[in-house]
Amino acid sequence: MADSLDSFVERLLALATVDGDTGARRLPPERELCEALGMSRGALREQLAVIERLGFLHRTQGRGTYLDTPSYGFVRTYFTIARSLGYIADSDVTEARVMVEEAVAEAAARSATEEEIGGLREALDRMYAGERDGDAARIHEADADFHRRLLDIVDNPVLKFLQEGLRRALADDMRARRESAARERAGIAFDRSHEDIVEAIVAGDPEAARYAMRRHFGIADDQPERRTVNG
């Protein structure tokens, strides 16, 4: 019976040579792999092709075949097709985004550096500039950059994987919310809700950051009592 894909990858990892400088996992030539794994060349190539399509394997001419950090192409395709088939609804995307963004804001308030906060402020400045100039594309780009920077502060590969997989759906959700704010002539107020998030992060107040993010999404509830961090 053929190995499951995850078992096959575990066996590949045991045979890979790790580059001390880059950490890249280089696989032996196909002939050696066939002998070590007890597989025909056809079966081996079929399994390697699946891993390659998933983004975990790449081949470099003249250098060899490597197991590597995954690309996001496959997971983007997965989520795109799932939306097309109706398995994931737009409301599911919005709900998931709220939950993730709340947690990200809370975590960012615990760890953001001055440089990272400066990046958030720079994105916010571009939003305001776009509002002044009536440049919708510039506003949307700055808005998306603001939320990407928040996620970068947290630096969690699982969240990054989900965000990249849902990139198109998240961009659609963000654009729809921005267009709704524009129709209601509430663009500046919408941008200021980002500013509230930044201020809570600057204060190092995770609870306030979570609350500010909820307000950003139009979720009204009682504001938590401010408390001094580390005090």
**pLDDT tens sequence across 87-127:** 988 888 888 888 889 999 999 999 999 999 999 999 999 98
Position 1 scores a pLDDT of 43
pLDDT of residue 224: 52
| Higher per-residue pLDDT: 57 or 162 | 57
Q: How far apart are CA 101 and CA 167, in angstroms?
A: 14
* Other residues' Cβ atoms within 10 Å of the Cβ of residue 126: 19
For residue range 137-148, list pLDDT tens digits in order. Answer: 898 899 889 999
- Over pLDDT 90: what percentage of the chain? 45
The band of 228, judged by pLDDT with boundaries at 50, 70 and 90, is very low
d(CA 70, CA 158): 12
State pLDDT tens for residues 20-48: 777 789 999 999 999 999 999 999 999 99
Mean pLDDT (whole number) for 174-186: 66
Residues 6+ apart with CB under 8 A from 36: 15, 28
Question: Residue 231 — very low, low, confident or very high, per pLDDT cuts 50/70/90?
Answer: very low
User: How confident is residue 83, by pLDDT bands cut at 50, 70 and 90?
Assistant: confident
**Predicted pLDDT of residue 91:** 87
**Could you give the domains of the chain?**
5-67 (1.10.10.10), 86-216 (1.20.120.530)
Residue 99: count of CB within 10 angstroms of its CB:
10
* Cα 28 to Cα 14: distance, rounded to the nearest angstrom: 11
DSSP string, 72-141: SHHHHHHHHHHHHTTSS-HHHHHHHHHHHHHHHHHHHHHH--HHHHHHHHHHHHHHHHHHHHT-HHHHHH
The pLDDT of residue 227 is 44
Residue 80 Cα distances to 16, 63, 72, 148, 216, angstroms: 33, 34, 12, 20, 26
Q: Which two tokens stand for residue 214?
A: 């909820």
- In the numeric block, the tokens 């250098």 are attached to 63
Mean pLDDT of the chain: 85
pLDDT of residue 187: 56
At residue 220 the predicted structure's pLDDT band, cuts being 50, 70 and 90, is: low
**Assigned token pair, 179:** 């267009």
Between CA 136 and CA 55 the distance in angstroms is 34
